[in-house]
Structure 1
Amino acid sequence: MHINLVDQDHYARDGVPHEQLRWLRANDPVFWHEGDPERDWPGFWAVTKHEDVVHVSRHSELFSSSKKLALFNEVPEEQRELQRMMMLNQDPPDHTRRRSLVNRGFTPRQIGMLEAHIRDICHQLVDEAATKGSIDFVTDVAAPLPLYVICELLGAPVEDRDKIFEWSNRMIGAEDPDYAGAPDEAANAAAQVYAYANQLAAERREQPRDDIVTKLLQTADNGESLSEDEFDLFILLLVVAGNETTRNAASGGMLSLFENPAQWDRLVRDPSLARTASDEIVRWVSPVNLFRRTATRDTTIRDKQVKEGDKIVVFYSSANRDEDVFATPSDFDIARDPNPHIGFGGGGAHFCLGNHLAKLELRVLFEVVAERLPNLRQSGEAKRLRSNFINGIKTLPVEV
């Protein structure tokens, strides 16, 4: 079988290449994938089994997020220096220190306090959708929800959600013709987020409030605090990670329910299934398709000899359909329990900080949509994001 797991045109046309991933899991689970000299992509080890993705995720001392960063594309060393200040691109102990400072705003108790507000937002979005009749589920429902929540977390005005949406699209959609502009558009969007973060920080230092920005700016009990660059980069990470993943899980989840009408009928009959459905949606959609690590020394994964400096790419979308872990992994089952998916990461240092928030947003959204819009139906073709990183849906026309 011809294997190409990074062809963005394939992702835009057909989504995740599950047929190729299924073959690799069965025949070559740690596969040496040829690179692309024209794109300056070196060859890499494609890790496709659940057990191996977890192994790589939990051993930062062997598989570094910092050495060549965590995203797939190659970045010049001068750019890496700044990017290494972001938690995503750090290894312990630096990552441990930063994580301990930002954890304060993301405890289950802190997130649980948002449920009533998230429910109000979902009802408001459904009210607006019902008055229109025909909507795009992505731009009218799936995208606004996490943007409203981010504004709430930051203590930012709700009207800022449109520019946060635009910045995020420009940073994530650099390879997509609908979002990409000039070659430096992603960098310009990041610079605008930095400036926005600086403005928020200045306002909170002058007038502290009960929001995550104020908490992040406070000095911890051990005397540690975030530097200005660290704070700006965390807000950048929050704007992208807190927005893109939930948006694409919600839109991909709705599309999956349309494609599996018996599951939609189950949810309409019993909206309490949204609790298990939220995890099944994350497993099935795998909004983050892959991350990259770099070997810090010679090691092995299964029977493959991995050399120091080798590029390793873990595929969550493959691990989440591993036949050795999930019964009937190719079935979308909203009542699946247990569900040991790794859509929020394979554990270890980089397990998703916002997993409680994402699951809460998805659970409440699908409860409200199933209760309020039982006759919702797809009215046009879904359009996918041209990206091998984010498994994204750009448009999903529906009739209310």
Structure 2
Amino acid sequence: MDINLVDKDVYARDGAPHDQFRWLRANAPVYLHEGEPDRGWPPFWAVTRHADVVHVSRRSDLFSSSRRLALFDEMPEEQRELQRLMMLNQDPPEHTRRRSLVNRGFTPRMIGALEQHIRDICHQLLDEVTGLPTVDFVRDIAAPLPLYVICELLGAPVEDRDKIFNWSNQMIGADDPEYSSGPSAGQAAAAEVYAYANALAAERRERPREDLATRLLLPDVTGETLDENEFDLFVLLLVVAGNETTRNAASGGMLAFFEHPEQWRRLLADRALAAPAADEIVRWVSPVNLFRRTATADTVIGEQEVRENDKVVVFYGSANRDEDVFADPEVFDIGRTPNPQIGFGGGGAHFCLGNHLARMELRVLFEVLAERLPRLAQAGPARRLRSNFINGIKELPVTLT
């Protein structure tokens, strides 16, 4: 079989290449994938089995997020230096310090307190489109929900959601001509987020509030706090990670219900299934397709020897359909239990900080949709994002019957 797991045009046309993933899990679960020298991409080890992805994720000592960063593309060392201030591109113990500071804003109590607000947002979004014959589920429902929540967390004006939406599209959609004119547009959007975060921090230092931004700018019990660059990069991470994952899980989940109408009927008959449905949607969609690590020593993944400084790429979309872990992995089953999906990461230092919030957003959204729009129907083809990093949907027309 011809293997190319990073062809963005394939993702835009068909979504994740599950036929290739299936073959690799069975025949070459740690596969030496060809690089692209003209783009500066070296060959890399494609890790496709659940157990191996978990192993790489949990061994930050052997598989570094910092040495060559966590995203797939290569960049010069001077750019890496700035990127290493972001938690995504750090290893313990520095990552542990930063995460402990940020954790203050993501305690179960604080996230739980948002549930009614999230439910109100979902109802408001549906109120805004009531009476329209056709709407875009992505633009009108899936995208605004996490953007409202981000504004709530940061204490930012709700009217800023459109700016945040556009910045996120330009950064994540750097390889999609509809969203971006190229990498420079993504860099310009990131610079605007930095400036926005700077202004927000200055305002909170002068006028503190009961919000996440204020909490992160105050010293913790040991006197530690985020400095200016660290705060700006956290806001950047929140704008992308807190938006794109929930937005694309919601859109991909709605598409999965359209493609498996018997599962939608199950949810209508039993709203309690919304909680396990959230995990099954994350497994099925795997909104984040891949992350990169760099081997810090000669080691072994599965039965494959890997050398120090080798590029290692874990594919969550493949791990989430591993036949050795999931019964009938090609079946979308909203009552699936157990469901050890790793769409929020395979554990370890970089397990998704906002996983409880994302699950809540998805659960509440589909509870409200089942209550308000039981005959919601697809009105046109879904259009996918041109990206091998985010399994994204750009447009999903629906009728609000």
Determine if the TM-score, normalized by the shorter chain, exceeds 0.5: yes
CA shift for structure 1 position 182: 4.8
- Work out whether 1:271 is the aligned partner of 2:271: yes
> What is the rounded CA distance, in whole Å, between the counterparts of 1:131 and 1:280 in structure 2?
31
**Which 10-residue stretch deviates more, 34-43 or 276-285?**
34-43
Query: Once the two structures are superposed, what CA deviation does each residue of 1:49-106 show, in whole Å capped at 9, x if it has no partner?
Result: 0000000000000000000000000011100000000000000000000000000000
Contact 2:201 2:213 in 1 (8 A): yes
> What is the rounded CA distance, in whole Å, between the counterparts of 1:26 and 1:385 in structure 2?
28
Name the counterpart of 2:33.
33
> What is the rounded CA distance, in whole Å, between the counterparts of 2:395 and 2:86 in structure 1?
30
> What is the rounded CA distance, in whole Å, between the counterparts of 1:75 and 1:182 in structure 2?
15
Query: Once the two structures are superposed, what CA deviation does each residue of 1:302-334 show, in whole Å capped at 9, x if it has no partner?
Result: 221101110000000000000111111110000
Contact 2:175 2:183 in 1 (8 A): no
> What is the rounded CA distance, in whole Å, between the counterparts of 1:301 and 1:389 in structure 2?
22
Contact 2:201 2:217 in 1 (8 A): yes
Query: Once the two structures are superposed, what CA deviation does each residue of 1:119-141 show, in whole Å capped at 9, x if it has no partner?
Result: 00001111122221210000000
> What is the rounded CA distance, in whole Å, between the counterparts of 1:18 and 1:184 in structure 2?
31
Residue 284 of structure 1 aligns with an amino acid whose one-letter code is W
- Gap change, CA 1:383 and 1:187, over 3 Å in 2: same
CA shift for structure 1 position 35: 0.5
- Work out whether 1:181 is the aligned partner of 2:178: no
Name the counterpart of 2:75.
75
> What is the rounded CA distance, in whole Å, between the counterparts of 1:127 and 1:28 in structure 2?
50
Residue 132 of structure 2 aligns with an amino acid whose one-letter code is K
Name the counterpart of 1:160.
160
- Structure 2: 5+ residue stretches without partners: none
> What is the rounded CA distance, in whole Å, between the counterparts of 1:183 and 1:393 in structure 2?
20
Name the counterpart of 1:399.
399
- Gap change, CA 1:173 and 1:210, over 3 Å in 2: same
> What is the rounded CA distance, in whole Å, between the counterparts of 1:269 and 1:203 in structure 2?
48
Equivalent residues, number: 400
Contact 2:378 2:399 in 1 (8 A): yes
> What is the rounded CA distance, in whole Å, between the counterparts of 1:189 and 1:16 in structure 2?
27
TM-score with structure 1 setting the length: 0.99
CA shift for structure 1 position 337: 1.2
> What is the rounded CA distance, in whole Å, between the counterparts of 2:115 and 2:243 in structure 1?
17
The 5 Å alignment of 1:1-400 reads 1-400=1-400
SS of the counterpart of 2:281?
helix
> What is the rounded CA distance, in whole Å, between the counterparts of 1:303 and 1:334 in structure 2?
34
> What is the rounded CA distance, in whole Å, between the counterparts of 1:102 and 1:336 in structure 2?
32
**Which 10-residue stretch deviates more, 179-188 or 132-141?**
179-188
> What is the rounded CA distance, in whole Å, between the counterparts of 1:103 and 1:138 in structure 2?
29
SS of the counterpart of 1:292?
strand
CA shift for structure 1 position 183: 4.0
Residue 19 of structure 2 aligns with an amino acid whose one-letter code is E
CA shift for structure 1 position 388: 0.3
- Gap change, CA 1:62 and 1:182, over 3 Å in 2: closer
> What is the rounded CA distance, in whole Å, between the counterparts of 1:318 and 1:76 in structure 2?
30
Residue 298 of structure 1 aligns with an amino acid whose one-letter code is D
Contact 2:173 2:179 in 1 (8 A): yes
Residue 7 of structure 2 aligns with an amino acid whose one-letter code is D
> What is the rounded CA distance, in whole Å, between the counterparts of 2:127 and 2:224 in structure 1?
45
Contact 2:280 2:336 in 1 (8 A): yes
SS of the counterpart of 1:293?
strand
CA shift for structure 1 position 223: 1.4
Contact 2:175 2:182 in 1 (8 A): no
> What is the rounded CA distance, in whole Å, between the counterparts of 1:83 and 1:259 in structure 2?
39
SS of the counterpart of 2:164?
helix
Residue 350 of structure 2 aligns with an amino acid whose one-letter code is H
- Structure 1: 5+ residue stretches without partners: none
SS of the counterpart of 2:72?
coil
CA shift for structure 1 position 206: 0.8
Q: Which runs of 4+ in 1 moved over 3 A?
A: none
SS of the counterpart of 1:42?
coil
> What is the rounded CA distance, in whole Å, between the counterparts of 2:250 and 2:182 in structure 1?
29
Identity among equivalent positions (%) equals 74
TM-score with structure 2 setting the length: 0.99
Residue 30 of structure 2 aligns with an amino acid whose one-letter code is V
Residue 391 of structure 2 aligns with an amino acid whose one-letter code is N
> What is the rounded CA distance, in whole Å, between the counterparts of 1:58 and 1:183 in structure 2?
31
Residue 365 of structure 2 aligns with an amino acid whose one-letter code is L
> What is the rounded CA distance, in whole Å, between the counterparts of 2:109 and 2:131 in structure 1?
35
Query: Once the two structures are superposed, what CA deviation does each residue of 1:325-370 show, in whole Å capped at 9, x if it has no partner?
Result: 1111110000111110000000000000000000000000000001
> What is the rounded CA distance, in whole Å, between the counterparts of 1:223 and 1:309 in structure 2?
36
CA shift for structure 1 position 39: 1.7
Query: Once the two structures are superposed, what CA deviation does each residue of 1:255-305 show, in whole Å capped at 9, x if it has no partner?
Result: 000000100111112222111100000000000000000000111112211
